[in-house]
A and B are shown apart, each in its own frame.
Chain A
Amino acid sequence: MGYGTERVTGRPAFLRGGGRLPAAAFRIAQAVLTAFAASVLVWALMPLAPGDPAERVLLARGVQDPTATEIEAARIALGLDRSLVTQFVSWLGDLLRGDLGQSFTSRLPVWQEIMERLPATFLLLSLALVVSTVVSLILALVAVAYRDRWPDRIVRLYTQIGAALPTFVFALLALTFLVVGLGMGRVLSEPTFKAALIPAFIIGLDRGASWTQLLRAGLLEAMASGYAEVARARGATERRILLRHALPNAILPFLTAIGVSVGALIGGAPLIEAIFSWPGLGAYVLEALAARNYPAIQGFVLIAALSYVTAALVVDLIALILDPRLRERLP
């Protein structure tokens, strides 16, 4: 099964053997497939929702007590009388043209509404991601460099507390007692870069705790490994071993964890945005949930799934660039 045997098969040149390009192409194809599967799930929300879909659309449009003939007419107008497969294909076609349907409440295209809200969420979450990455990198390196001494103890305390405080609880406490209590900023604000800083710092500080834990464990494992021992025997300083040998080896699982956390961040967005009164996608989906606005819920789930798939893809591609071993593992 090694890649050497595959060289004799008649695969096109770019798929033969290991290499960045074929491995990357394979991974991208996989991501496209995953995105497709996610879109099936998103579409399925509509037919799965309780009640008659045609009647639901009429009720959402403000028709009181629609008659059977009205429902039947709507069913045909909406194309709901066709087979599920046909419905899915036409839905997917609309989707690819950027049409997610019409919001039940505002009657505006869902796509347009989401695009208005998305930048705010993207700004907040990506800033939080940067903060937690930087925090965990620094703290994990400090903890390992001063293993079992007081800096390590403090970092370990921080990771325990951070992991035990759900992000929204920490955010609520920090907002109440630090930001508002000490007059560090206003709560309600426009979604600007400056306004995003404090929320992003709070979220990043909480998220960073579990990442620090993970990276610290990885670094410790690397520091105890054979290659670290060899470097030590050759007279390398502990600092050099940590930065030049342990860090590059421990960073890959860490990267993967960050990719996965993007999903958790997006899933947590409604909660975070509710606490910071942030006018983003999370706030949008909460309104949609309250109003049973299915197209809007679908839009949120789809955007979340796509961001998740993209983040995982980017992380894997970075790993491919960094780690030559991965390039040879084509299935």
Chain B
Amino acid sequence: MTLLNPTRPTPLEAPVDRSVLRCLWHHRAGRAGALLGLALLAFATIGLAWTPHPPDLPDYANALKPPSLTHPFGTDATGRDIFSRIMDGAHRSIGAALAVLGAIFGIGLVVGTLAGLAGGLLDAVLMRLADIAMNLPGLVLAFAVLGLLGPGFVNLLIALIAADWAWYARLARSMALDARGRPHVIAARLAGIPRRRIVMGHVLPGVAAQVGIVASLALGSTIGAISGFSFLGLGVQPPHAEWGALLAESRLYVPIAPWLLLGPATLIFLSVLAANLVGNALRDLAAPEAR
């Protein structure tokens, strides 16, 4: 949670608007991250419809083959092509991380803005809830929720959302409170614009931009967390492929086929790298002086 370091506030009027993509493009590391991310997204999307070999079909004649042209990352103990399984699992690893962050972003934004602008009892109740959730390290809270609900892919996503929403709600709340006193919001109020339009048109966009930047910085660790929990068998259940689960399967055969680890590990590395590059670039763009 070092991302929410209060010693380095980011200004609310960040240059996050329609030109954000262009800014990202002109940021060298950001462009590299964006391209890598797009490539991975394309990889995951293609994997939904097509893989070079059937990902779940055993082929015992070709078990534990080292990397070759037909099997770039080798084959597992039942002869399934690791590359195909990585491709098939991509949407679970990447898609799940994006879904978790999207949900956290949405919940944090709505709860935080609502609490900040409504004030009073609603604010107090929501923020005490957030305080309780923030008393535990995120991963520990995720373990607690998984203990309650039991292992499973959907339960893992719920656990990760429960683990982190409070930080975003807190951030959104302080941003919303801050926005209330901003000149453009005061001007809009003086101009007689209805309250709902001020909130939707003048407060929310700024808050969303800030919370979005922090969320993008957490994408990498979310990808890591999902594959980590799946590695432990608490997330994606067999026979479904997922990168962390693939690492766990490969691990059993490490003494005879250590190359099995390389494929899933590379893909996890590349996705976290892409997420980090984009997130850091967005942070730089929002607060150039902090660089």
Contacts and interface: CB of A to CB of B under 8 A. Distances in A.
B50 interface: no
A301 B144 contact: yes
B173 to A, nearest CB: 18
Contact of B147 (A34, A169, A263, A294): A294
Nearest to B273: A164
B232 interface: yes
Contacts of B19: none
Interface of B: 1-2, 5, 7, 131-133, 135-144, 146-151, 220-221, 223-225, 227-228, 231-232, 234, 247, 251, 254-255, 258, 261, 265, 268-270, 272-273, 276, 290
A160 interface: yes
Nearest to B227: A166
Interface residues of A, number: 56
Given A173-B265, A304-B137, A274 B232 contact: yes
A28 interface: no
A253 B5 contact: yes
A164 B137 contact: no
Interface in A144-198: 160-161, 163-169, 172-173, 176-177, 180-181
A285 interface: yes
Contacts of B265: 165, 169, 172-173
A309 interface: yes
B232 A164 contact: no
A263 B150 contact: no
A286 interface: yes
Contacts of A167: 224
Contacts of A164: 220, 269-270, 272-273, 276
Across the A-B interface, give the 10 residue pairs with the lowest CB-CB distance, nearest first. A267-B139, A263-B137, A166-B224, A164-B273, A297-B147, A304-B140, A164-B272, A38-B135, A267-B140, A267-B137
Interface string A256-285: 110011111011101100100000000001
A84 to B, nearest CB: 16
Contact of A267 (B7, B143, B149, B227): B143
B81 to A, nearest CB: 21
Nearest to B128: A37
A289 interface: yes
A166 B276 contact: no
A25 interface: no
A173 B260 CA distance: 11
> Which of A165, A172, A221 is most buried by chain B, counting CB atoms within 10 A of its CB?
A172
A137 interface: no
Interface stretch (A42-50, A124-132, A228-236): A42-50
Contacts of A309: 135
